[in-house]
Amino acid sequence: MWINFNQKLLSLKILHGVCNCRIQIPACIEVSVKIAQGIQRHCKQISGKNPPHIVTRNYSSTRPPWRVLFFGTDDFAVESLKLLSASRESNDIVVDALEVVTLSKDGPVKRFAVLNKLPVHVWPLGDLHGRFDVGIVVSFGRLLRGGLIKQFPFGILNVHPSLLPRWRGPAPVFHTILHGDTVTGVTVMQIRPNRFDVGPILHQEVYQVPDKYTADQLGVTLATKGAQLLIDTLRALPERIANRREQTEEGATLAPKISTSMSWVSWEEQTCDQIDCLFRAIGSRIPLRTIWMGKAIKLLEFSGKCSISLSGRGRMPLPGSISFLKESNTLAVCCKDGWVGFKAVMLKKKLSAADFYNGYLHQSFQKIPDLPKQECLFHSYKDRTEQYSDEVENSLAQHQTGNY
């Protein structure tokens, strides 16, 4: 089948054996993008299946659909990859060709790519000139050199879960919750060579953080919103780039990786609200910890602020003082401005609040002559440089959003 045009012709290379339909097309003909897409739809109608991936043009376009190379690793990144993949089949096609770069041998992005038959590239990359229009990075965790970025006519975009320049770095969602931010959002920006989170902003969307949201909940929400914002950006990419705005240093904050050293509670320094934020930020990854009788213990099942009557106590309790609330089976601990509760603790094994009270805090235990009264307190751990196993740190790192 030969096709002639009076309009400007565009070059297209079609791989031999694209589908099992009877249309025969030479290995290299001149045809428009619209006709190429029509051929693909025709193949699908005949075979009932999507044809294998083909590169439908070898030039740089100035409008959608785009040839996209996606860089990502984790669940946060998968949400954007899902929407990019789905956009190839929609009526309003935004993505033409989609290929993937990932660092993990068996991470969420790699699994999605394999399941959906997306070509996967090995990092580091070789020469890509002329193969893609734009790169997209979501939670990739590697600095990108200028030489790589220049191989994409529209550069490389990044989906970042914060309102940049606030919370630049690999853990913006954790720090949003940790610091009690009530407003956050998502940002689509252009990557700068060898820099993290400082490039010009193409698109932003504000999001009000719901009360008592955890970092896990916020991460899921912003992943969905970031994916949609990315598609919106790609629909009008040249215009977004033309109207991009540079970030200012005013209001810039850093969001370093979360570490186990942050899990120590300082009863003298932290308020009820600060402990609540700490738990909602890291509690699902790292249990909060304190010192009991000279040893580290884990504080489990945080239950929030407690109301404690001070009548009959004689004096103000010291930070770290413990009170058992029988009605709610809760250990209440005194902090800087009140009491916070926990339903369980971990010593050698997990103990409920009642078990801990009966075994360690009951009146008969406290009457032991040789036991100093101060040992009936939880103590703050001042030296927070203790290192835990690589397994714990690696598990934590996998859940931090490296949005580069």
CATH number at residue 283: 3.10.25.10
Q: What is the pTM of this model?
A: 0.80
Query: Which of these, 160, 377, 364, 165, lies nearest to 267 by C-alpha position?
Result: 377
Which amino acid would we find at residue 57?
A: R
As a whole number of angstroms, the distance between CA 80 and CA 233 comes to: 12
Residue 21 · residue 42 · CB < 8 Å: yes
Q: Are residues 180 and 74 in the same domain?
A: yes
* Predicted confidence (pLDDT) per residue in 89-103, tens digit: 888 899 999 999 999
Query: Which of these, 203, 211, 158, 212, lies nearest to 185 by C-alpha position?
Result: 203
Which helix or strand (DSSP H or E) is residue 98 part of?
A: strand 95-101
> Is residue 390 included in any domain, yes or no?
no
Question: Hunting for tokens 């504000």 — which residue is that?
Answer: 206
SS3 85: helix
Q: Tell me, what's the pLDDT at 92?
A: 84
Q: Tell me, what's the pLDDT at 91?
A: 85
Q: Are residues 202 and 219 in the same domain?
A: yes
Q: Tell me, what's the pLDDT at 22?
A: 33
Q: Are residues 229 and 126 in the same domain?
A: yes
> Is residue 127 included in any domain, yes or no?
yes
Residue 304 · residue 340 · CB < 8 Å: yes
Q: Length of the chain, please?
A: 404
As a whole number of angstroms, the distance between CA 344 and CA 300 comes to: 5
Measure CA of the first residue to CA of the last residue in the chain; give whole Å: 46
Q: Tell me, what's the pLDDT at 400?
A: 55
Q: Tell me, what's the pLDDT at 360?
A: 87
Q: Tell me, what's the pLDDT at 316?
A: 79
SS3 66: strand
Question: Hunting for tokens 């397994």 — which residue is that?
Answer: 391
Give the structural domain span for 181: 66-242
Residue 386 · residue 157 · CB < 8 Å: no
Q: Tell me, what's the pLDDT at 369?
A: 56
Cα 400 to Cα 102, 277, 288, 384: the distances in Å are 16, 17, 18, 20
> Is residue 117 included in any domain, yes or no?
yes
As a whole number of angstroms, the distance between CA 172 and CA 243 comes to: 25
Which residue positions in the chain have pLDDT lower than 70? 1-60, 310-314, 363-375, 383-404
* Predicted confidence (pLDDT) per residue in 332-372, tens digit: 999 999 999 999 999 999 999 999 999 888 765 555 555 55
Q: Are residues 53 and 71 in the same domain?
A: no
As a whole number of angstroms, the distance between CA 83 and CA 229 comes to: 10
Q: Are residues 81 and 153 in the same domain?
A: yes
Q: Are residues 132 and 12 in the same domain?
A: no
Q: Are residues 227 and 145 in the same domain?
A: yes
As a whole number of angstroms, the distance between CA 68 and CA 116 comes to: 15
Q: Are residues 302 and 335 in the same domain?
A: yes
Q: Tell me, what's the pLDDT at 16?
A: 34
Q: Tell me, what's the pLDDT at 61?
A: 73
> Is residue 401 included in any domain, yes or no?
no
Q: Mention every residue, 6+ apart, whose C-beta is less than 8 A from residue 158.
A: 136, 137, 138, 188, 189, 190, 191, 197, 199, 403, 404
Q: Are residues 49 and 110 in the same domain?
A: no
Last residue of a domain, one of 210, 242, 274: 242
